[in-house]
Amino acid sequence: MSIGAGQRRLWAAIGLLACLWTLPGCNTLPMADADGSDGLSAQADGEARRRARIRLELAASYLQRGQPEVALEEVRQALVIDPGYADAYHLRGLVFMAQGDLALAEGSLRRAQGIKPQDPDILHNLGWLQCQREQYPQAEQLFERALAIPSYAARSKTLLSQGLCQQRAGQAEQAEKTLQRAYEIDAGNPLVGYHLAAMLFARGETRRAQFYVRRVNNGEFANADSLWLGIRIERALGDTQAMRQLADQLRKRFPDSRQAQAFDRGAFNE
Rounded-to-integer distance, Cα 167 and Cα 116, Å: 29
> What pLDDT does residue 17 have?
43
Span 210-230, pLDDT tens digits: 999 999 999 999 999 999 999
Q: How much is the mean pLDDT over the chain? A: 86
Measure Cα distances from 24 to 5, 29, 54, 64, 197 in Å. 29, 5, 12, 12, 30
> What pLDDT does residue 270 have?
74
Task: Lowest mean pLDDT of 5-14, 49-58, 101-110, name the range.
Answer: 5-14
Position 195 confidence tier, pLDDT thresholds 50, 70, 90? very high
Rounded-to-integer distance, Cα 266 and Cα 103, Å: 42
Position 14 confidence tier, pLDDT thresholds 50, 70, 90? very low
Task: Lowest mean pLDDT of 41-45, 104-108, 116-120, 214-218, name the range.
Answer: 41-45
pLDDT reading at 9 higher than 60: no
What are the CB-based long-range contacts (under 8 Å, 24+) for 203-211?
A: 203/172, 203/176, 206/233, 206/236, 206/237, 207/237, 209/233, 210/234, 210/237
For the whole model, what pTM was predicted? Answer: 0.80
The torsion region of residue 42 among left (phi > 0), alpha (psi -120 to 50) and beta comes to alpha
In degrees rounded to 5, what are phi and psi of residue 68?
-65, -35
Measure Cα distances from 69 to 52, 59, 84, 203 in Å. 18, 9, 22, 41
Task: Measure CA of the first residue to CA of the last residue in the chain; give whole Å.
Answer: 21
The CB density around residue 42, as the number of other CB atoms within 10 Å, is 15
Span 26-63, pLDDT tens digits: 322 333 343 333 444 456 568 899 999 999 999 999 99
> What pLDDT does residue 42 have?
53
82, 49 contact by CB (below 8 A): yes
- The closest of 159, 165, 162 to 134, measured between CA atoms, is 165
The amino acid that residue 109 corresponds to is L
| Angle between helices 190-202 and 155-168 in degrees, nearest 10 | 20
Q: What percent of the chain has a predicted confidence (pLDDT) above 70?
A: 83
